[in-house]
Amino acid sequence: MSQATILIESVDVLLLDLPTIRPHQLSVATMRRQKLVLVKVRASDGVTGWGEATTIGGLAYGEESPESIRTNITTYIAPLLAGLDATSPNGCMRVLRDSLQGNRFALCAIETALFDAHARRLGVPLSDLFGGRVRDSLPVAWTLASGDTARDIAEAEEMLDRRRHRVFKLKIGAREVRADVAHVAAIKRALGDRASVRVDVNQAWSQADAMLGMGMLEHAGVELVEQPIAAHDIDGMKRLRDMNRIPLMADEALHGPLDAFRIAGARAADVFAIKITQSGGLCGARQVAAIGAAANIGLYGGTMLEGAIGTVASSQLFATLPELAWGTELFGPLLLTEEILATPLEYRDFALQLPAGPGLGIELDEERLAWLARQYAN
């Protein structure tokens, strides 16, 4: 490695507890707010980069909480990074991975910030550091999760009218299987061929629930079932695949490349939800995608309902994947009442339009961020 002259100087973490536009009901939590975990890395050449480590429902979804991520970054990760070569995100990440266990979300935010800063330094979009884009926009699904069938149908109709979304993911699993299926079937009936309807059970079903539910959902015209049973039950996922024609997507079961390899080897999923946080960063997510593609598993660009930073970081990577048959669900910023960017991300024609500028391609509205930090910092 060459003599480093541009060194990492500081790492800051900001938690913003922002309201959602409506309650968002998952089987594991009902979200009325989303706590964004934003990370800023500054190097000695004055270049800064941003990353995000947002999760869902405190500790309800993953084993890192916003507060533990902040503590682990400020206490352990920032001191390890200080003085390292800022022009080698890979070199920095190797030092971190050699020194600590786990912490996928925290590492994702750090890696994203390092790539953002380095791409800005080079004057290229972050996607160029992953070989360049094969598309400039990404189809974006919307999650219907108000908990009320009529309200969900009205929301879907509005999204179709505005040409913002035509793929809808319904959050189920909190109620009894037949009640959930009736809710989904009513929405699919109302939308007909104008929309694709998918469901996410977030691990809530037993094997018996899933045997009943997946068959009924297929008859209702549902296209995809996401994480129907416990994430650790790879054998169960394989059994459900063998029994059903409706495709099964692995989400919580995928904590990076090793899980991807295991699930692909067991033929336990038809589709992978690729998430940069769950994969421990952009490079890990790209490996998950490569393993999926090699195993002829369809790819879907997933979200942890991040704000603009994590959303656009994911989009920079997803835009480079040769195959993305199931589109994405990069709608996180649209679920929040507050904007943190100087120019909001552009959603039109059922897709997120990728920004063209260097790095992540976004500028944070620093004044607004300071105001939000006073209102919503945590």
Binding segment (CB under 5 A) for Mg ion, from list 42-50, 54-62, 225-233, 334-342: 225-233
Q: How far is the CB of 326 from ligand MUC (least distance, A)?
A: 12
Q: How far is the CB of 302 from ligand MUC (least distance, A)?
A: 6
Using CB under 6 A, which residues numbered 107 to 166 contact ligand MUC?
143, 145
Q: Are 82 and 93 in contact (CB under 8 A)?
A: no
Rounded to 10 degrees, what is the CA torsion of 248, 249, 254, 260? 70
CA distances from 137 to 211, 283, 291, 351 (A): 37, 21, 23, 6
Which residues on adjacent β-strands are paired with residue 69?
A: none
SS3 59: coil
Binding partner selected for residue 143 from Mg ion, ligand MUC, none, CB under the kind-specific 5 to 8 Å limit: ligand MUC
Vertex 370: Cα angle to 15 and 40 (nearest 5): 55
- Site membership for Mg ion, residue 200 (CB under 5 A): yes
Please tell me the count of residues contacting ligand MUC according to CB under 6 A. 10
- Site membership for ligand MUC, residue 305 (CB under 6 A): yes
Q: How far is the CB of 61 from ligand MUC (least distance, A)?
A: 7
171 is catalytic: yes
* Cα-to-chain-centroid distance, residue 27: 18
Using CB under 6 A, which residues numbered 202 to 241 contact ligand MUC?
202
Q: What six digits make up the tokens of 85? A: 């070569």
Please tell me the count of residues contacting Mg ion according to CB under 5 A. 3
Query: Looking at residue 32, what DSSP letter applies?
Result: E
SS3 144: strand
Q: Which of 35, 40, 169, 171 is catalytic?
A: 171
Binding partner selected for residue 329 from ligand MUC, Mg ion, none, CB under the kind-specific 5 to 8 Å limit: ligand MUC
- Site membership for ligand MUC, residue 27 (CB under 6 A): no
Vertex 53: Cα angle to 334 and 43 (nearest 5): 110
Give residues in contact with Mg ion (CB under 5 A): 200, 226, 251
Give residues in contact with ligand MUC (CB under 6 A): 56, 143, 145, 200, 202, 251, 302-303, 305, 329
Catalytic residue positions, numbered: 171
